[in-house]
Amino acid sequence: MVTAIPTASRPAIWPWLAWALLLIVVDQLTKQWILAYYQLGDFTPITGFFNIVRAHNTGAAFSFLADAGGWQRWLFTGIGVVATVVIVWQLHAHRGQRLLGLALSSILGGAIGNVVDRLQHGYVVDFLDFYWGTSHFPAFNVADMAISIGAVLLILDELRRMRKKSGA
């Protein structure tokens, strides 16, 4: 017979939501700073491989669908809203799993940060520009970093789970 764990003794979801909120705040503050001090295309060289730049991305990762005519703004906003609901549900269902919680809440904070941009501006503000010679990696932001780190942590969590199942 399986007995349910009383809700009072289950770990809280609030630390994960607080982490996501912190990421959203840092993301939005950095983007507001870029919008206040840089015009579109302006950049400041920092090192021989890194610039701060103001770029606008109307598409998704790597500017996917950036030239689609405007409808993609609502598609990616909708995807972000659906992802938010699913992630909060998963955080609630798996709140005792720390690595999974950190992964999901990082993705949550990043997704919401970029949705805020799409709703507010119609594009995502990017400003981190890494390059080698004349080849530039697509510019990105704090939200993108949070999503990427969260995705890596999801993979690590799954690998760890698979290893435990196999008894290794």
Q: How far lies 19's CA from each of 56, 72, 90, 101, in Å?
A: 26, 28, 15, 10
Q: Provide the greatest CA pair distance for the chain.
A: 64
Identify the active-site residue in 27, 126, 129, 157. Answer: 126
Active site residue 27: no
Residue 58's SS3 state is coil
Q: How far lies 164's CA from each of 3, 102, 156, 167, in Å?
A: 23, 19, 12, 5
Active site residue 157: no
Identify the active-site residue in 27, 117, 129, 144. Answer: 144
Catalytic residue numbers, as ranges: 126, 144
